Structure formats: structure tokens, C-alpha cells
Structure 1
Amino acid sequence: MHDIKAIRDNPQAFDAALARRGLAPAAGELIALDESRRAAIAELQRSQERRNAASKEIGAAMGRKDGAAADALKAEVAGLKAAMAALEAAEREAAAALETRLAGIPNLPFDDVPDGKDETDNVEVRRHGSPPQFPEGFEPREHFELGEALGLMDFDAAAKLSGARFVVLKGGLARLSRALEQFMLDLHTAEHGYTEIEPPVLVRDAAMYGTAQLPKFEEDQFWTLAGDSLLDVAAGAADPLAAIKANRFGLIPTAEVPMTNLVRESIVEEKTLPLRFTAGTLCFRAEAGAAGKDTRGMIRQHQFRKVELVSITTPEQARDEHERMTACAEEVLKRLGLHFRTMALCAGDMGFASRKTYDLEVWLPGQGRFREISSCSVCGDFQARRMNARCKAADAKATRFVHTLNGSGVAVGRALIAVMENYQQPDGSIAVPDVLRPYMGGRERIEAA
């Protein structure tokens, strides 16, 4: 959420930042909405002052037994009361219109974010390692070819259970997925200073709104109701859709949602910051805008596991924390012995809530290209304003909004894909990376079931 005062103070800078995201100017419209709200407030205050004054004048008129004057003043007060009710409604309507419009505008990029329209304009920051060397004449296969040949990755069974974009992992691959998540959580908690969280995966609309999944990305989420059916909730309601939304739960698209909202509607002591949280959870995404993309395999699933990193900081700590978080995610890939590159996303390719984002892209030999495996973003106070999350220094009188960051540390399914493709053997088996063998009971290779 943007600060309307900052927009009023420098509308040109606001519109210039929106233009870097490929969006039309909006400052004039927002200021006009705010003027309507402020005008209603000002008129309401004037009416309140006049009603208070008129009430005193009624007492004075009655004291001097001037009935006509008292009756006229009483009529004026009654009129002011009715007018004030209308002004209050107008102020609420104007405030709601302003908030709705602000809620639909993405965050503004930092000055050092590269200009550009889409992923083709992203800038490589650094690269680690090199692609694996396979025997001459050997053509590396994609993960789904490997998994199906091993009999450990079953998309047909998943389709019977749940439809497209689901998978059933079996045996060694199921254990490898579990090993990856445990390894990441152990690394982030023992060496990187994150506190492990086991959050709910069902959240209310307010939590989704706080991290900016709502209102813009409502169709990308999965929603559920507890107990009552949709028809039961909507029956007899003046606004059935509103009744349904008031009773629904959202399945989290990432643990960023519950972990960031741990500080919602609270004031955190600055001496305790930064707060660093990590969680390994199921995540759910409708992939509404992904029709026809990555229809084979596990790259883009409705249900997947991910280890998430979240930091809550002061404004001064946020930029350094972003570099630190990215390094923590990079360390996962380094320990797994994977070839990857770190990309600075251009302004036109960043996520809605981000001010700056680094994507980690891992090399997939089966596809012969880099694919995203982690995204680390600094959001400034954009989410904090939506959550009303503040911090306060011990010697300060006023509070200020915290800054929030989130990143994948990393996506478990995509890490599984990367390990499978990079550690595949000519006989179709998968070598287990050294760092994962303690989590695999010492197992060195995954072979056919």
C-alpha cells in the first residue's frame, strides 16, 4: 500500500516510478480521490462545530425565553445532524474508493533496479559453478522422463486423484524430496540464524491482503470453506458473495503469507529487529495465468513444497538484509553442487509487492537452460502499511512502519528437479549429492523401484 501523503508531496516521482513498471500515471487520480475524502472530512468538522455552537445557542435562547429563536436553532441542529450523516457516508465512500485504488497499484522499484519490460531485460549479477559433464554421446533427459522410467514419479495416478498439475512421488524420490526440505531447514536455522515456524496453511482474507495477494491476485488462489457449503453461507445473505468471502479460508501460495503476518497489527521493539523466520510448507497456486506453460512435469504445480524465508527489519536494515537473504538461498544451491546464476529483475518483471528482486536460476541439463528456483524480494513498507505493522525505538516517541522481505530458500520441487537432472547417470539412476546422504540413510543412488 502506498502513502498518499508521499504521493501528494511528489506526484511526478510517483508517476515516473509507475512508468518504469509500464503503467500509466495515477497520481492525479489518487490525489483527486484524496481531495474528495479530505473535503468531506473538512465539511463534517465544520458541521460538527456549528452543531456544537448551535446547541449552546439553544440554551441561551431558552434562557432569555426566546422560543422562536430556540425552535429555529433546534431545526438547524436537526438539519445538521442529517447532513452530517450524509457527510460521514461520503467520507467513508471516498476513503474506500481511495484504498481500493491504492491497493491495486504495485510497489515502486528502487532506483538501482534495471529498466525493462519483461524477463528478457533482466540482468545477470553473478554465476556459480558450471554445467555437469556427461559421457560423450549421452543426452541428458528431463526430470519427468527420469522419474517415470524409474517408476517413482506418477502423473497418471495424480491425475486420477486430483487432475492436471499434480504428481505422486514414490520411494526414493519421495524420500529425496523430504531430504531436501530437511537439509534446507537445518541450514537456515543452524547456520543462517532463522527461527523455524510451522504456520497454518489456511488463512483469512486479511492475511492475504496484508502480503498483497488480495485483491489483485484473487483468481490465482485456492479457496475453501469450513463446514457449511457455499449455498448455506450465501442463502439469505443480502450480499451472497460478501458472505462467502467473510467465511472462506485461502490456501497459502507461499509461507510468506502467514509468516509476514506474524507482526500484523503490532508494534515491534526495534532492538529485536531483524526478525528472521523460515518454514517448510505445502503451497497452493491455481496458476490461472499459466495455461499451456510447463504442462509436462513438476515445474508448475497446483500443490508443491517450498522452504520460505521472511525477514522483518527497520528501514535502515532492509537493503543489507536483502543481500544477506539472497546469499542464504544461494548457499543451498552451492551445497547441492548446482550450477546457477543470480539475476536482478528489471522493473517490468518484478512481483507486485517488490521494490527489488533477485531471482536464482538453476541449470537444468534436460531442458538445456536456466530455470527459476528462488526469488528474493525486499518490499519496503508496502506490506507493513497493509498489515499496520510498526516498530519503535526505545528512546523514540513515534512509531514507524517495519520493512519486510521474503524469499524462497528454496522451492523443494524445483530443487528435486535440479538434482535429478544434474545428477542423472547413464544407466538411468540418480546419484545422491553428498550433502543429502545423511538425510537419505546413507543412500548414494536412487534406482528403479
Structure 2
Amino acid sequence: MHDIKLIRDNPQAFDSGLARRGLAPLSSRVLDLDQRRRAAQTSFQETQARRNEASKQIGLVKRQGGDAQALMEEVAGLKDRLAASEAEEKALGEEIDRLLMAVPNLPADDVPNGPDESANVELRRVGTPRQFDFAPLEHDAIGEKLGLMDFQSASKLSGARFVVLKGKLARLERALGAFMLDLQTGAHGYTEVNPPLLVRDEALYGTGQLPKFGEDLFRANTGHWLIPTAEVPLTNLVSGEIIEETRLPIRVTALTPCFRSEAGAAGKDTRGMIRQHQFTKVELVSIADPDRSAEEHERMTACAEEVLKRLGLPYRVIVLCTGDMGFSSRKTYDIEVWLPGQNTYREISSCSNCGDFQARRMNTRFRRNGEKTTRFVHTLNGSGLAVGRTLVAVLENYQQADGSVLVPDALKPYMGGLDVVTPDV
């Protein structure tokens, strides 16, 4: 959500930010609606004042034995004008809200300009891709040869973009999730949360999935929505609150299933586990002081990177350009893991600083020590990591010529000491 006062004060900056997103100017339309709304508000106030004055005059005239009929008729007419002004102000305010609710966050000044992912900028590479003495397979071929990854049964149960994991692979995915949670809570100070998987409309409006991206979500017949990411419930834990400065930053994490319809992904990654309707993810969320959110963004990204470092998986970090950023983000770092079966890097985490964009939608503020006034917090979120995609990376990077898969050292305590994944007997 955008601050209407900032748009009034600097409409050119607002339109410039939209232009960097590839969007048309909008300030004139917003300000026209705002001017009409404020005029209706002024009319209401002036009419209310005249009504109060006329009502007093009625009493005075009657006490003096005069005829107050004209004043009484005026008051009756003013009542209708009040209702009309109030209705107009409300309708215009709702129209402004609807308009701004569909407008994405403006990019930070240091975000590179560009139309799409081709303009993203690589910041660093960590780790050296393994040199194989055989042709590495993609993860779905590895899993199916092991007899532990079953897309056919999943399709029978649920259709496309689902998978059934069995035996050692099911345990390996569970191990990855537990390892990530332990790392983020134990080493990085995040508080583990087990949130609801079903949320109301308000929660998705708060984080920006609604109203624009409803087609990407699954809705229950109760009116709830299945969460597309734990970012939604975790961030909304502080919706409507005024937080004392001493509580910041608030850092929370959760391991949850996530559900996405992938409405805009027709034809993309139709094989394997890269893009599914249901997947598991460890989410990181920070509620931060605006003066520290850039620092918190770097910290969060480092926390996500640490998972890959401990698993020994090569990766790179890129900063997304203006044309590739998510709706609520003002700046995003993507972490892409090396997949030898595909011979490319693929996204495994996005860490975003949303500034006060979500906080305005949720009405979440904080109060500095000794001050009476409040300010909007900054919100940040990131994957720490997507568990299914991390499983994909482990399978492809640790595969052996005989079809088995070595277990990374960091996961062995979670696998009962198992060193290698082989077909279940």
C-alpha cells in the first residue's frame, strides 16, 4: 500500500517508480480522486457545522416565540446533504484503496532497471560445481530409478504437479526441513512458529497476494485460503499492532506445506519437483526498524545462504531488476543453486525487503522509546529454504554413477547415520 501523502507531495517520484516497474503513470488519477474525496470531506464538515448552528437557532427562535419552520426545513435538508457527502467520501476513499491495493511496491533506488530476468545482476558465486565422470541425471530420473519418487501415483491421486516420496527419500526431505529449522532457530535466532495453513482474506491483502493474485491461490469452500507461503501467517502475526521499539527486530520462522495453483506457469517445469502445487518450505520473516531493514535484509540472505554452505551445494546470489521483482518487494535477492542435471542455476530462495508496503496494508506500527508518535515497521521475508528444491539439488549434486545418492554430512544426524540413499529393498 502506498502513502497518499507522499503521492501528494511528490507525484513525479511515484510515477517514476512505477515507470521503473514498466507501469503507466497513475498519480494524476489518484490525486483527482483524492481531491474529490477531500472536497466531499470538507463539504461534510461545513454542512455539519451549519446544521449544528441552525439547530441552536431553532431553539433560540422557539424560546422567543418566533417561527422556526424555515430553519427546521433547512436542518432537514442539511441532513440529506450530510448523508450524501458522507457516502461520496466513503465511495471515493474505497476507490482510492482499490486502486492503490493493485499497485506494486516501488523499487529501491539501488535496484537495477530492466524489463525481465535478463537484466538481473549476479553478485557472487559460492562453491565450485562438481565435475562428473559420467553424465549426471536430473532429479526425477534419479528418484524414479531409486524407486522412491512416484509421479504416476501422485497423478492418480491428485493430477499433475504432485509427487509421492517414499522410504529414504521421504526421510531425506523430512531431514532437510528439520535441519533448516534447527539451523535458523539455533544458530540464527529465529523463533519457530507453527501457524495455520488456512487464512482469511485480510491476511492475504496484508501481504499483497490479494486482490491481484487470487488466481494463483487455492480457496477452500469455507472462505479460507490455503497459504501460498508461510510469509502470509507469519507476517500477519503483528497486523494491527503497535510494537514497542525494544521488541524489534522480530524474527520468526516456520516449516509448512505451501499451496500454489501455478496459474501463470503453464508449460513451465511440468516434469519433476521444481514447480508443484504443494511443496514444503522453511520461511524466514523479520519485522524491523526502518533504519535497520537494509542491514536485516543482508542478514536474512546470509542466513539462507548458510543452509547451502553447510550442505556443500554450489550457488550464486543475484539482485532482481525492477521488471522481475515480486509485487510487495522493494528489493529482492534470489539465491540460485547449481543443478548439474540441468546444467544451470535454479532459484531456491528469494529474500525480499518490502519496506513499509505490507505494514501499511496491515496497519502495523512501532513506537520509539520516549516518543508518543508511531511509524510503520518494515517487513522482510525469505525462503530458508524451499525444501523440495533443496532435495532436488542434493539428489543432482550428490548422485553417484551406480544410481545411489550420498547423504551430505550435515544431514546424517537426521538420517540415523545413513551414508547413502539406495533403492528400498
Q: Common fold, TM-score beyond 0.5?
A: yes
Question: What residue is the counterpart of 1:273 in the other structure?
Answer: 248
TM-score (normalised: structure 2)? 0.99
Tell me the CA shift for residue 271 of structure 1: 1.0
Tell me the CA shift for residue 381 of structure 1: 0.5
CA-to-partner distance for each residue in 1:30-78, whole Å, 9 max, x for gaps? Answer: 11111111111000001000000000111111122111xx100000000
Question: What residue is the counterpart of 2:278 in the other structure?
Answer: 303
Question: What residue is the counterpart of 1:103 in the other structure?
Answer: 101
Tell me the CA shift for residue 150 of structure 1: 0.7
* Match runs of 1:423-434 below 5 Å: 423-434=398-409
Structure 2 regions of 5+ residues with no counterpart? none
| Identity, % of aligned positions | 65
Aligned residues: 424
Question: What residue is the counterpart of 1:88 in the other structure?
Answer: 86
Instruction: State the distance in 2 between where 1:356 and 1:394 align.
Output: 28
Question: What residue is the counterpart of 2:381 in the other structure?
Answer: 406
Instruction: State the distance in 1 between where 2:176 and 2:208 align.
Output: 29
Question: What residue is the counterpart of 2:150 in the other structure?
Answer: 154
* Match runs of 1:122-133 below 5 Å: 122-133=120-131
Instruction: State the distance in 2 between where 1:171 and 1:133 align.
Output: 29
SS at match of 1:317: helix
TM-score (normalised: structure 1)? 0.94
Equivalent residue letter for 2:94: A
SS at match of 1:222: coil
CA-to-partner distance for each residue in 1:119-153, whole Å, 9 max, x for gaps? Answer: 01000011101111211xx1100000010111100
Question: What residue is the counterpart of 1:41 in the other structure?
Answer: 41
Tell me the CA shift for residue 394 of structure 1: 2.3
Tell me the CA shift for residue 303 of structure 1: 0.3
SS at match of 1:184: helix
Question: What residue is the counterpart of 1:58 in the other structure?
Answer: 58
1:209 aligns with 2:184: no
1:184 aligns with 2:180: yes
1:381 aligns with 2:356: yes
Instruction: State the distance in 2 between where 1:273 and 1:146 align.
Output: 45
1:196 aligns with 2:192: yes
What is the Cα-based RMSD across aligned positions, in Å?
A: 0.6
Instruction: State the distance in 2 between where 1:132 and 1:375 align.
Output: 24
Question: What residue is the counterpart of 2:20 in the other structure?
Answer: 20
Instruction: State the distance in 1 between where 2:91 and 2:270 align.
Output: 44
SS at match of 2:358: helix
SS at match of 1:361: strand
1:343 aligns with 2:341: no
Instruction: State the distance in 2 between where 1:153 and 1:34 align.
Output: 56
Instruction: State the distance in 2 between where 1:31 and 1:319 align.
Output: 30
Tell me the CA shift for residue 225 of structure 1: 2.4
Instruction: State the distance in 2 between where 1:387 and 1:112 align.
Output: 26
SS at match of 1:159: helix
Single out whichever of 176-185 and 30-39 deviates more from structure 2.
Answer: 30-39
Structure 1 regions of 5+ residues with no counterpart? 227-247
SS at match of 1:311: strand
SS at match of 2:291: coil
Over 2 Å off, 4+ runs: none
